[in-house]
């Protein structure tokens, strides 16, 4: 399941979470992001038993995103015990690359 | 996929969707393979005003392309969400291999367009998504009240620069020529926008920063002098949006389809490539004008020529 976080819940859901969290940074005006998100939802269903999946609408959480060094979307990032360890940014964020990234941490 | 389609269209932008619409209406079995959202490049733009018949008050690329998609679907075009990874177009039955399977057809319309040209300077890859962007509608929001540079001088650069003034407090256009190449009406509108400044006759040399983009070095094309622009101390970073044209996405056709030196597909007036039954439409064609309207025209012609080709076969 893909948890929709916001600027208030992001800290608890991602930065203070134990284990591995996959974060999909998107915004509704970002066409490539909206094309990717349904695929991430599917992957969340598939791999959600061992990994936590969170999505953040950056248009409503700009400072949080910038604080995570996100200045361009889409980004799919991997957090482990609150630390960002890997990410796929913009053009690199293909469905195939995202699935490969998830499998790596599964 | 068991079906052998009459027409297989690679790409769901204006060219591909129009080809699909015409093929479907001609009662040909047609399918479009599209890896992302419909529309291609036009879906990223906030305001389309020069497509004939679009909303006279202007509309977003997404809004415009939605109507293309609905029209194609209305005429029974099958849609596949997939990426064309390799092709085999030399035989009577053409094959396109995707991530999700193999697609076969009697004719193919290559309409998968182009992707944004990169600057190719040091720091560009490092700061992609950390200040460097190729999509204003995606990333403009991050630069609310900050400063932003737009590299380029054509329609896209100037239009997106104006769009970015909705967010940034200052937008500076950096253009290598001492003049803009955008349409006059766009240039005039930009002149009236007090948030836009210009660095004409400068080329970006490098991008630097500490995690986020903070420095941009430009070269004066006449004197060769280098100047480094730094982020405002309080801001701590700035944006650099690149709109310097596009590159045709034709890697997978190398060795089968004739390509020009710059990677475009040359065709005749009927969109025919060097291979029988294979047509090209839209921005990846070798042509002088690349607009939504010309892409749509290409798609229409390709579909009608595909129909003619199939009729002659049987």
Residue-wise pLDDT for B129-177, tens only, equals 999 999 999 999 999 999 999 999 999 999 999 999 999 999 999 999 9
Taking the Cβ of residue B44 and every Cβ of chain A, the question of whether any pair is shorter than 8 Å is answered with yes
**Chain B residues with CB inside 8 Å of A34's CB?**
37
CA atoms lying within 13 Å on the CB side of residue A50: 6
* ipTM (interface pTM): 0.90
Closest CB to B142: pick one of A71, A90, A96: A71
Q: Which residues contact B120 (CB under 8 A, 6 or more apart)?
A: none
**How far are the Cα atoms of A47, B17, B119 from residue A41, in angstroms, in the given order?**
10, 27, 34
Pick among A26, A27, A31 to test the B interface (most B CBs inside 10 A): A31
Closest CB to B137: pick one of A31, A36, A58: A31
Q: How confident is the model at residue B67, as a pLDDT? A: 96
**Closest residue on chain A to B39 (Cα):** A31
Residue B21 has pLDDT above 80, yes or no: yes
Surface-to-core class of residue B275, CB atoms within 10 Å of its CB (0-12 exposed, 13-18 middle, 19+ buried):
middle
Domains and CATH numbers, chain B: 4-115+247-313 (3.50.50.60), 132-242 (3.50.50.60)
Q: Where does residue B52 fall: left (phi above 0), alpha (psi -120 to 50 degrees), or beta otherwise? A: beta
Q: How confident is the model at residue B2, as a pLDDT? A: 83
Over residues B248-292, the pLDDT tens digits come to: 999 999 999 999 999 999 999 999 999 999 999 999 999 999 999
Write the CATH number for A95: 3.40.30.10
**Chain A residues with CB inside 8 Å of B135's CB?**
30-32, 72, 90
Q: Are B247 and B115 in contact (CB under 8 A)?
A: yes
Q: Which of residues 62-91 of A touch B (CB under 8 A)?
A: 62, 65-66, 69-75, 89-91
Residue B264's SS3 state is coil
Q: Are B119 and B204 in contact (CB under 8 A)?
A: yes
Q: How confident is the model at residue A27, as a pLDDT? A: 96
Taking Cα atoms as reference points, which of B158, B178, B159, B161 lies closest to residue B239?
Answer: B161
Over residues B193-239, the pLDDT tens digits come to: 999 999 999 999 999 999 999 999 999 999 999 999 999 999 999 99
**How far are the Cα atoms of B49, B53, B59 from residue B56, in angstroms, in the given order?**
7, 8, 8
Where is average pLDDT lowest: A12-26, B48-62, B126-140? B48-62
Taking Cα atoms as reference points, which of A71, A35, A75 lies closest to residue A54?
Answer: A75
Q: How confident is the model at residue B314, as a pLDDT? A: 80
pTM of the model: 0.89
Residue B57 has pLDDT above 80, yes or no: yes
Mean per-residue pLDDT, A84-103: 93
Q: How confident is the model at residue B49, as a pLDDT? A: 87
Residue B30's SS3 state is strand
Sign of the alpha-carbon torsion through B274, B13, B116, A25:
negative
Average pLDDT, chain B: 96
Taking Cα atoms as reference points, which of B112, B106, B105, B102 lies closest to residue B36?
Answer: B112
Taking Cα atoms as reference points, which of B45, A83, A66 lies closest to residue A75?
Answer: A66
Residue B1 has pLDDT above 80, yes or no: no
Q: For chain A, what is the domain count?
A: 1
> Cis before residue A74, ω within 30 degrees of 0?
yes
Convert A24-51 to b/e letters by CB count within 10 Å (16 or more is b): bbbbebbbbbbbbbebbbebbeebeeeb
Q: If pLDDT is split at 50, 70 and 90, which confidence band does B46 have? A: confident
Q: How confident is the model at residue B118, as a pLDDT? A: 96
Determine what percent of chain A is predicted with pLDDT higher than 90. 92
Which residue out of B38, B139, B155, B283 is catalytically annotated?
A: B139
User: CA B127 from chain center: how many Å?
Assistant: 21
Q: Name the minimum distance, in Å, from the CA of A16 to any CA of chain B.
A: 23
Quote the domain boundaries for residue A13.
Answer: 2-105
Q: Name the minimum distance, in Å, from the CA of B247 to any CA of chain A.
A: 14
């Amino acid at each position: 399941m893909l948890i929709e976080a916001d600027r208030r819940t992001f800290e608890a859901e991602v930065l203070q979470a134990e284990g591995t969290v996959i974060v999909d940074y998107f915004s509704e005006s970002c066409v490539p992001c909206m094309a990717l998100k349904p695929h991430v939802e599917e992957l969340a269903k598939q791999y959600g038993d061992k990994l936590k999946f969170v999505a953040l609408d950056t248009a409503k959480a700009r400072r949080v995103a910038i604080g995570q060094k996100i200045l361009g979307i889409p980004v799919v990032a991997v957090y482990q015990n609150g630390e960002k360890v890997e990410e796929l940014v913009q053009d690199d964020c293909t469905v195939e690359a995202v699935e490969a990234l998830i499998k790596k941490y599964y | 996929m068991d079906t052998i389609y009459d027409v297989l269209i690679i790409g769901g932008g204006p060219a591909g969707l129009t080809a699909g619409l015409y093929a479907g209406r001609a009662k040909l079995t047609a399918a479009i393979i599209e890896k992302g959202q419909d529309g291609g490049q036009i879906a990223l733009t906030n305001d389309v005003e020069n497509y004939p018949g679009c909303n006279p008050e202007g509309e977003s690329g997404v809004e415009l392309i939605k109507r293309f998609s609905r029209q194609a679907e209305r005429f029974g075009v099958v849609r596949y969400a997939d990426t064309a990874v390799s092709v085999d177009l030399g035989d009577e039955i053409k094959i396109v291999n995707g991530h999700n399977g193999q697609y076969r057809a009697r004719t193919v319309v290559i309409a998968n367009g182009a992707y944004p040209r990169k600057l190719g300077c040091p720091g560009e890859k490092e700061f992609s998504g950390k200040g460097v962007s190729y999509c204003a509608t995606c990333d403009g929001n991050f630069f609310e009240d900050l400063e932003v540079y737009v590299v380029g001088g054509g329609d896209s650069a100037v239009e997106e620069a104006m769009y970015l003034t909705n967010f940034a407090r200052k937008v500076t256009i950096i253009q290598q020529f001492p003049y803009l190449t955008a349409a006059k009406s766009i240039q005039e509108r930009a002149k009236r926008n007090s948030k836009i400044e210009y660095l004409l006759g400068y080329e970006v040399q490098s991008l630097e920063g500490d995690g986020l983009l903070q420095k941009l070095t430009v070269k004066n094309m006449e004197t060769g002098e280098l100047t480094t622009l730094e982020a405002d101390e309080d801001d701590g970073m700035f944006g650099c949006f690149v709109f310097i044209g596009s590159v045709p996405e034709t890697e997978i056709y190398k060795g089968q389809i004739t390509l020009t030196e710059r990677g475009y597909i040359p065709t005749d007036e009927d969109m025919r490539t060097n291979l029988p039954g294979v047509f090209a439409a839209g921005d990846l064609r070798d042509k002088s004008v690349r607009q939504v309207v010309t892409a749509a025209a290409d798609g229409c012609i390709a579909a009608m020529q595909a129909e003619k080709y199939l009729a002659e076969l049987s």
